[in-house]
Chain A
Amino acid sequence: MNNRRISIIFCGGCNPRINRGQIAAQVQNMLMESGYQVGYNSLDVDFVIYISGCTAGCALKYNHSKLPAAVIAASSIDAVTIDEAKLVTEVTKRVRGYFE
């Protein structure tokens, strides 16, 4: 346990281009294996992972915070297009890169 608290915040999911639930579950597993605490839809944490199903990016738009964050919106992380299959490893890399 490294006491770092991560929150995954979702958009509403009206027309997703990616499987948000599956991505979140895989990210959660990978991070928990490394001792992170991972919860959902909270801003009382050390780092936020926003997951939006499309580029409109509603997860971030409606839950803006000053917390350090990584933003998934459709097949992109922090506005850079990326293969959907690589989203999970890329985003966990960002979290680790921030803390480790």
Chain B
Amino acid sequence: MALKTAQQYEESLRKLNFKVYLQGELVKSPVDHPMIRPSMNSVKMTYELAQDPQYADLMTATSHLTGKKVNRFCHLHQSTDDLVKKVKMQRLLGQKTAACFQRCVGMDAVNAVDSTTFEMDQKLGTKYHDRFNKFLLKMQEEDWTVDGAMTDPKGDRGLSPSKQVDPDLFVHVVEKREDGIVVSGAKAHQTGAINSHWILVMPTISMTKEDADYAVSFCAPADAEGIFYIYGRQSCDTRKLEGGDIDVGNKQFGGHEALMVFDNVFIPWENVFMCGESEFSGMLVERFAGYHRQSYGGCKVGVGDVLIGAAATAAEFNGAAKASHVKDKLIEMMHLNETLYACGIACSAEGHKTASGNYIIDLLLANVCKQNVTRFPYEIARLAEDIAGGLMVTMPSEKDLRHPEIGKVVEKYFRGVASVSTENRMRILRLIENITLGTAAVGYRTESMHGAGSPQAQRIMIARQGNLDKKKELAKAIAGIK
């Protein structure tokens, strides 16, 4: 089965034995939980669109391992065209879900682990790349969603992993056995963890020899013995428990993050891709982060498309669409959004082949892309709030609208232009609220800031890759300085 249908994906999740805590309770069936299900629907869309001939060119690719058609999320990029198509696919999915569709992290992880294990084997004579290929093959055949697990809780940011008071603040090897390793610790902020079949763990920072136990990469079934999850809260999340469909803003789709805890989890050697080779941890982190910084030039742009469309619609419903400043603000929003996209495409077009054969983005441009992502969605959101008006945060609830008596009052006083119903005006304003400060703001705002690394992480890379000496040479040549 190289491609699962959306329904098969949902059914496959039901078979997993997840241990998930949400609001202090163990969840019986994550797929059916009203707070989790919208996030599952977003991942499901990555399966649904892959079956649709209209989207097949972006959503699928040809496996370099088997020559078979696979979901692009399971693919290793074989050209710069593949890198470009990845960004376009992410924009498409952002447009279809207006949320984080979660599956990119795993795609970025497999692409980073592939080239790193290859180069590690070449230099150190290890045997990780073959193992990794076996995992990749299975991932492609089973069309798995894989969680890319990099970020550790990290405790005191000023201390290295081995210097932390509690060793579990970074995932680490607690025991090496003949048949495998035992790991403990946790990964924080895990996007889509509970919608994933497998997880692919990577170290979170560049390590030194003394942190060798923490330089560990492996894969594991998402419901493996000893792994459990604590589901992350999102702003306005309990609106999903209220049963209506206006106040949630986006009833069908969402995203999620969770704390993933490893309580002495056994990992057989065939699933281990790094174990103590600290000198390669930096390469793995840099490559994963590079791919993931490219990703945001696609997904956030797609969500931005929806937000800009919502702001323009709200302006129409408010009767302000013809105002020149409103038109100009929409132009500014589109300019910012397309600038993000331009960087996503540029770092892909300027990508190159790695020693293992897969393609990687241009690191400088990917970091510029992500640095813009830490800023522009905030400005786009600010402009959307400006255009929407204060009602997006002061409006009464759907229950008030539906109320036999006060419903009439809500209808009367919250109407904009006469040709549009109050309900539709409320719907569009709630969508703006959802993306700018509701559940989807987790993905559109704070993930834009910190996901794939906080802004300073990109600035360090830009400093390293920016070619400043060459720029000085150019200036000196023009100025006649010898």
Query: Which residues in A have some Cβ–Cβ distance to B below 8 Å?
Result: 15-17, 54-57, 73, 78-80
Check A17/B467 contact, CB under 8 A, given A55-B362, A56-B350, A80-B119.
yes
Check A79/B353 contact, CB under 8 A, given A55-B362, A56-B362.
yes
Residues from chain B with a CB closer than 8 A to the CB of A54 are: 350, 362
Bound-state Cα–Cα, A79 to B362, Å:
13
Size range of the chain B interface in the assembly: 10 to 19
- Interface contacts (Cβ under 8 Å), in number, total 26
Residues from chain B with a CB closer than 8 A to the CB of A80 are: 119, 122, 355
Q: Is A56's CB under 8 angstroms from B352's CB? A: yes
The answer to whether the Cβ of B470 comes within 8 Å of any Cβ in the partner chain is yes
Interface of A is mostly: loop
Bound-state Cα–Cα, A57 to B362, Å:
10
User: Of all chain A residues, which has the CB nearest B474?
Assistant: A15
Q: Which of A15, A16, A17, A55 contacts B352 (CB 8 A)?
A: A55
Bound-state Cα–Cα, A17 to B465, Å:
9
Q: Is A17's CB under 8 angstroms from B470's CB? A: yes
Residues from chain A with a CB closer than 8 A to the CB of B351 are: 56
| Nearest CB of chain B from residue A59's CB, rounded to whole Å | 12
Bound-state Cα–Cα, A60 to B356, Å:
18
Q: Which of B352, B355, B467 contacts A57 (CB 8 A)?
A: B352
8 intermolecular pairs with C-beta atoms under 8 Å apart: A15-B467, A17-B467, A54-B362, A55-B362, A56-B350, A57-B352, A79-B355, A80-B122
Residues from chain A with a CB closer than 8 A to the CB of B51 are: none
Q: Which 9 residue pairs across A and B have the least CB separation, nearest first?
A: A56-B350, A79-B355, A55-B352, A57-B352, A80-B355, A79-B353, A79-B354, A17-B467, A56-B362
Q: Is B352's CB under 8 angstroms from A79's CB? A: yes
Bound-state Cα–Cα, A16 to B473, Å:
12
Q: Is B352's CB under 8 angstroms from A73's CB? A: yes
| Nearest CB of chain A from residue B408's CB, rounded to whole Å | 63
User: Of all chain A residues, which has the CB nearest B469?
Assistant: A17
| Nearest CB of chain A from residue B31's CB, rounded to whole Å | 42
Residues from chain A with a CB closer than 8 A to the CB of B362 are: 54-56
Residues from chain A with a CB closer than 8 A to the CB of B353 are: 57, 79
Best-surrounded residue of A15, A54, A57, A79 (most CB of chain B within 10 A): A79
Check A15/B470 contact, CB under 8 A, given A55-B362, A56-B350, A56-B362.
yes
| Nearest CB of chain A from residue B56's CB, rounded to whole Å | 27
Q: Is B352's CB under 8 angstroms from A78's CB? A: no
Bound-state Cα–Cα, A80 to B122, Å:
10
Bound-state Cα–Cα, A74 to B363, Å:
13
Q: Is A78's CB under 8 angstroms from B467's CB? A: no
User: Of all chain B residues, which has the CB nearest A74?
Assistant: B352
Bound-state Cα–Cα, A17 to B353, Å:
17
Bound-state Cα–Cα, A40 to B122, Å:
33
User: Of all chain A residues, which has the CB nearest B80?
Assistant: A61
Residues from chain B with a CB closer than 8 A to the CB of A15 are: 467, 470
Q: Which positions 325-366 of chain B face chain A at CB distance < 8 Å?
A: 350-355, 362-363
| Nearest CB of chain A from residue B76's CB, rounded to whole Å | 14
Residues from chain B with a CB closer than 8 A to the CB of A79 are: 352-355
Residues from chain A with a CB closer than 8 A to the CB of B350 are: 54-56
Given A54-B350, A55-B350, A56-B362, 20 more pairs with CB closer than 8 A: A15-B470, A16-B470, A17-B467, A17-B470, A54-B362, A55-B352, A55-B362, A55-B363, A56-B350, A56-B351, A56-B352, A57-B352, A57-B353, A73-B352, A78-B355, A79-B352, A79-B353, A79-B355, A80-B119, A80-B122
Q: Which positions 180-211 of chain B face chain A at CB distance < 8 Å?
A: none
Q: Which positions 363-388 of chain B face chain A at CB distance < 8 Å?
A: 363
User: Of all chain A residues, which has the CB nearest B360?
Assistant: A55
| Nearest CB of chain A from residue B121's CB, rounded to whole Å | 13
Bound-state Cα–Cα, A32 to B317, Å:
75
Bound-state Cα–Cα, A30 to B186, Å:
55
Residues from chain B with a CB closer than 8 A to the CB of A78 are: 355
Bound-state Cα–Cα, A78 to B122, Å:
14
Bound-state Cα–Cα, A57 to B354, Å:
12
Residues from chain B with a CB closer than 8 A to the CB of A55 are: 350, 352, 362-363
User: Of all chain B residues, which has the CB nearest A58?
Assistant: B350
User: Of all chain A residues, which has the CB nearest B364?
Assistant: A54
Bound-state Cα–Cα, A35 to B355, Å:
31
Residues from chain A with a CB closer than 8 A to the CB of B363 are: 55
Bound-state Cα–Cα, A56 to B352, Å:
6
Best-surrounded residue of A55, A73, A78, A80 (most CB of chain B within 10 A): A55
User: Of all chain A residues, which has the CB nearest B465?
Assistant: A17
Bound-state Cα–Cα, A55 to B290, Å:
14
Residues from chain A with a CB closer than 8 A to the CB of B355 are: 78-80
Residues from chain A with a CB closer than 8 A to the CB of B352 are: 55-57, 73, 79
Bound-state Cα–Cα, A78 to B354, Å:
8
Bound-state Cα–Cα, A73 to B354, Å:
11
User: Of all chain A residues, which has the CB nearest B363?
Assistant: A55
| Nearest CB of chain A from residue B466's CB, rounded to whole Å | 10
Bound-state Cα–Cα, A78 to B355, Å:
7
